[in-house]
Amino acid sequence: MKMGGKMMNVSNQQGHGALKQGWEPVVLGAVIAVAFILSAIEPYGYQIWFLEVVPVVIGAALLVASHGSFPLTMLLYRLLAIHALILIVGAHYAYARVPLGFWFQDIFDLSRNHYDRLGHLAQGFIPAILAREILLRRSPLGPGKWLFFVVLSVCLAFSALYELVEWWVALLDDSVSQDFLGSQGDIWDTHWDMFLALIGAVVGQLLLRARHDRALAGLSGEGQEYQEDGR
């Protein structure tokens, strides 16, 4: 009976958390939808565009499906929106041809377009907060060294999986391999991608963990419970 009451309380808190967020998740979703539509207008190549936006489509579907029963913190929704925009822009131009990357290349006299490096840094920074939130709310882990380590491991595993997906796509269709891989002749590109994801996951947790804890505390009081458990 006690367990049933606790489950009902958590469910009510989650529903209240979704109401407290107001229209901001809808606005963020609308911005991403507009960017998505614009990116589909005369992209560098529709095959590359499709491959690059698949994670955005899957992620958006999961967020919409879970928003009522498992609303995330607004901090995380904002970060995920930024990540989606990075992916959408990369999908439209193909990562090695994004104008912003060329701009930085010219200013700093770089040897290549580094927009893909930004993408992989974000691939660690933002999923680190996503993994942290899920683990704090759905596992026995509390804030501390073990949580930090497990989040790093999750981000590295995800980065490695993405590199494997790129390799498999290249094996299946050589015509898109160069643009999808985006290595730009760098033999260490895969290693750089995973290293930057690792750096992103470390920096993300160090910079945002206190703010994330406060965001969780504001999500119907759940975060405060986890902070107390982690002391």
The domain locations on the chain are 2-230
- What is the percent of the chain where pLDDT is above 70? 81
Q: How is 23-68 classified by DSSP, letter by letter?
A: THHHHHHHHHHHHHHHHTSS-S-HHHHHHHHHHHHHHHHHHHHHTT
pLDDT 10s digits, 40-77: 999 999 998 999 999 999 999 999 999 989 999 999 99
**Cβ 104 vs Cβ 110: under 8 Å:** yes
CA–CA gap between residue 189 and residue 178 (Å, rounded) = 12
**What is this structure's pTM?**
0.84
Tell me, what's the pLDDT at 231? 37
Given a cut of 90, is residue 20 above it in pLDDT? no
Tell me, what's the pLDDT at 167? 86
